């Protein structure tokens, strides 16, 4: 099947590519800067990530609502342009400044996400959307993988993470320009999502307990290897896997709810148990687990928005905002709990995440049982 408005799909997807080429270097750097450069305790890192995602959750639902009311393209461009704030995290002199700079940039990243997803829905027909969201996720994560690659190489050669981040503003500006030229982005009809859509929103909230900030595996890797570049490479392995399988899931014939339940939520829960018990083996276990977690996240990033777009009509932006809201609320609570549990033992935090992933699976599994 050929996507009729492929050029518009590619503009939106390459905007995502360049955005991640910039801000994902900051995402991978943030735990290193916060915990190892500024010596903040790990429970504060958990709280910091909770603030990032907590404020982001409100920005997601606000951005989705405003996208339908005032125009998806306008909201997407404004939000995307302001992500550049997190590029200045490298100029921070303490972990409080680092937190606020990263946090505000991340909030605007969440603000624009529902509008961008709704734009992709707008330029595709229902039968094209799974492939389109797969392309978006693949290019999104491909940019992120390259970001982690240049960050890892720089760290290997002794360049400080703080010195790299200011240059991430360049791809972020290019990302916004791609969105400016998309021929889409009209208004929608703000409405409440339906019951089945709300089931997916609730389940993704529980899954978000499992999709904790990948900063935790980065910290775990550094603790067992004592090498910053090996720690950031963990994130690169995860992202590469997620990119490849995002494209695969967009192409293959697989019923969305089944894929979400088994290849998303269940797989992520089991992988978190793997991090809990196998991390002492070092990269020999952490890297394969990162690959598997990448598969799980690719499943959710492809199937969740596909399901939501099919269940919502004129209110796509609002529905996408609700989806991001559910994810962010879960990550808010999950990161806070993960941080406190990690302070006692890294394994406790991953066991908690594993249990939450199984709960998310069971919620969606009930939808399958009801047919």
Tens-place pLDDT, residues 353-364: 999 889 888 887
pLDDT digits (tens, 9 = 90+) for 70-117: 889 999 999 999 999 999 999 999 999 999 999 999 999 989 988 998
Whether the predicted pLDDT of 205 surpasses 70: no
pLDDT value of position 200: 58
| Cα–Cα distance, 184 to 8 (Å, whole number) | 8
- Cβ atoms 213, 342 nearer than 8 A: no
Among 123-132, 202-211, 304-313, the range with the most confident prediction by mean pLDDT is 123-132
pLDDT digits (tens, 9 = 90+) for 223-278: 999 999 999 999 999 988 988 898 888 888 888 888 888 998 899 999 999 999 99
DSSP letters of 33-99? Answer: IIIIIS---HHHHHHHHHHHHHHHHHHHHHHHHHHHHH-HHHHHHHHHHHGGGGGGGGG-SSHHHHH
Give the residue carrying structure tokens 């499992």: 210
| Cα–Cα distance, 2 to 147 (Å, whole number) | 30
Whether the predicted pLDDT of 197 surpasses 60: no
- Cβ atoms 299, 133 nearer than 8 A: no
Closest alpha carbon to 234 in 285, 171, 160: 285
Domains of the chain listed by start with CATH number: 6-369 (1.20.1250.20)
- Cβ atoms 142, 17 nearer than 8 A: yes
pTM: 0.80
Whether the predicted pLDDT of 207 surpasses 60: no
| Cα–Cα distance, 205 to 326 (Å, whole number) | 5
pLDDT value of position 186: 64
| Cα–Cα distance, 362 to 7 (Å, whole number) | 39
Closest alpha carbon to 309 in 163, 116, 36, 86: 116
- Cβ atoms 355, 266 nearer than 8 A: no
Mean pLDDT of 154-179: 95
Residue partners of 102: CB distance under 8 A and separation at least 6: 26, 30, 52, 86, 89
Closest alpha carbon to 269 in 367, 361, 334: 361
- Cβ atoms 321, 60 nearer than 8 A: yes
Confidence of residue 332 (pLDDT cuts 50, 70, 90): confident
- Cβ atoms 72, 186 nearer than 8 A: yes
Greatest Cα pair distance in the chain: 56
Name the more confident of 63 and 334. Answer: 63
Joined together, the tokens standing for residue 235 give: 């994130």
CA distance readout (Å), 48 to 98, 106, 184, 296, 330: 10, 12, 35, 25, 15
Q: What is the mean pLDDT of the chain?
A: 86
Whether the predicted pLDDT of 211 surpasses 80: no
pLDDT value of position 114: 86
- Cβ atoms 275, 225 nearer than 8 A: no
DSSP 168: G
Chain-centroid distance, C-alpha 318: 19
DSSP 157: T
């Amino acid at each position: 099947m050929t996507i009729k408005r492929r050029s518009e799909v590619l503009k939106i997807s390459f905007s995502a590519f360049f955005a991640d080429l910039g801000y994902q270097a900051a995402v991978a750097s943030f735990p290193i800067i916060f915990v190892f450069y500024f010596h903040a305790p790990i429970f504060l890192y958990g709280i910091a990530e909770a603030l990032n995602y907590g404020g982001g959750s409100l920005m997601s639902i606000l951005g989705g609502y405003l996208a339908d009311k005032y125009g998806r393209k306008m909201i997407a461009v404004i939000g995307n342009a302001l992500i550049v704030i997190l590029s200045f995290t490298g100029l921070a002199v303490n972990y409080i400044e680092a937190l606020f700079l990263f946090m505000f940039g991340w909030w605007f990243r969440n603000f624009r996400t529902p509008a961008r997803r709704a734009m992709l829905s707008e330029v595709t027909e229902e039968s094209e959307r799974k492939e389109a969201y797969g392309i978006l996720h693949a290019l999104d994560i491909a940019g992120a993988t390259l970001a982690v690659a240049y960050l890892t190489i720089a760290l290997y050669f002794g360049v400080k993470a703080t010195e790299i981040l200011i240059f991430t503003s360049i791809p972020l500006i290019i990302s916004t320009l791609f969105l400016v030229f998309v021929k889409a982005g009209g208004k929608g009809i703000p409405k409440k999502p339906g019951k089945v859509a709300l089931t997916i929103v609730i389940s993704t909230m529980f899954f978000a307990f499992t999709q904790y900030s990948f900063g935790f595996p980065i910290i775990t890797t550094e603790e067992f290897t004592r090498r910053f570049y090996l720690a950031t490479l963990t994130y690169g392995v995860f992202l590469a896997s997620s990119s490849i399988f995002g494209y695969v899931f967009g192409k293959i014939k697989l019923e969305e709810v089944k894929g979400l339940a088994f290849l998303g939520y269940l797989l992520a829960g089991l992988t978190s148990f793997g991090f809990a018990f196998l991390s002492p083996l070092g990269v020999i276990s952490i890297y394969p687990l990162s690959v598997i977690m990448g598969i799980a996240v690719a499943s959710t990033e492809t199937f969740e928005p596909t399901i939501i777009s099919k269940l919502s009509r004129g209110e796509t932006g609002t529905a996408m905002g609700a989806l991001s809201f559910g994810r962010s609320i879960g990550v808010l609570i999950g990161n806070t709990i993960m941080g406190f549990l990690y302070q006692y033992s890294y394994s406790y935090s991953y066991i908690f995440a594993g249990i939450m992933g199984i709960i998310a699976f069971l919620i969606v599994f009930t939808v399958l049982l009801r047919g």
